[in-house]
Amino acid sequence: MSINNSDDAKKRLTPMQFHVTQRCGTEPPFYNEFWDNKKKGIYVDVVSGEPLFSSLDKFDSGTGWPSFTKPLKEISIVNVVDDSHNMDRVEVRSKNANSHLGHVFDDGPMPTGQRYCINSASLRFIPAEDLEREGYGEYKKLFDKSESGRELSKSSEKANSDYELATFAAGCFWGVESLFKQVKGVLETTVGYTGGTASNPTYRQVCTGITGHAEAVQIKYDPNVVSYEELLSLFWRMHDPTTPNRQGPDVGTQYRSVIFYHNEGQRKVAERSKEEFDRSGVYTNKAATQIVPA
């Protein structure tokens, strides 16, 4: 359902919802309803109620807006070329209501590599436990499947301990993760913040440098397929470890180079690897990489 009458739209929507959906506006980052929402459920068009995105595909992009790797259904989204503000972008609109939602960028995490940057004001959130009551019962199975999958994963891990963990910080964790994901023998990767003093810090807190966290990637790998030494070799090659608190245009302590070791064996291997890197002469300066406990 599309709102064609401007007066009707103003009556039904809040000023911000009207500004975003009907006038292609943009809400302030971080100061919006869903940018940090971690509850399970789906997001529907605030105008028509058509299902658009799922919390299962939501991630923290650090932009201050809700970000998703993909829509619930491709047919519910319309992409439009947007050359406003002297920029070439791809606008995202809902198919039925023709609401402006936001934009999509090709800098998201794998497997899609896309980041749907969406305005909270264009969305209404339906918690998983309310899906049937709100008329979205067909999507309840997504979250039932998610729960059963998580329980299976835990039991599988208990039954199969033939894997090891490695944790590295080498700049923006999305880029680091994408490279490690391509390695044969890497079973699973998780991005997050570590090495700091605060519990469960937000992106904004980490950016201040006060918490001391680094953007890092934890890797679950099969040592029978890929060794810790091989992961370290990729670690040294994927970034410039000689630049303290910086990787390219990303500047701050959260972008420092760190090897977080999980046992004494990893510590010894990491220190030896760092010495070999410094002797290699790849860079004029020696590595500023820290080697600390995970």
Active-site residue set: 117, 172
Number of residues written out for the chain: 294
Token pair recorded at residue 7: 């007066």
CA contacts within 13 A on the Cβ side of 288: 17
Token pair recorded at residue 133: 């009551």
End-to-end CA distance of the chain: 52
103 forms beta bridges with 91, 117
DSSP per-residue letters across 193-253 = EESSSSSS--HHHHHTTSS--EEEEEEEE-TTTS-HHHHHHHHHHHS-TTSTTEETTEESG
186 forms beta bridges with 221
Q: Which of 104, 224, 117 is nearest to 164 (CA)?
A: 224
Backbone angles phi, psi at 285, to 5 degrees: -85, 155
Is the peptide bond prior to 241 cis by the omega test (within 30 degrees of 0)? no
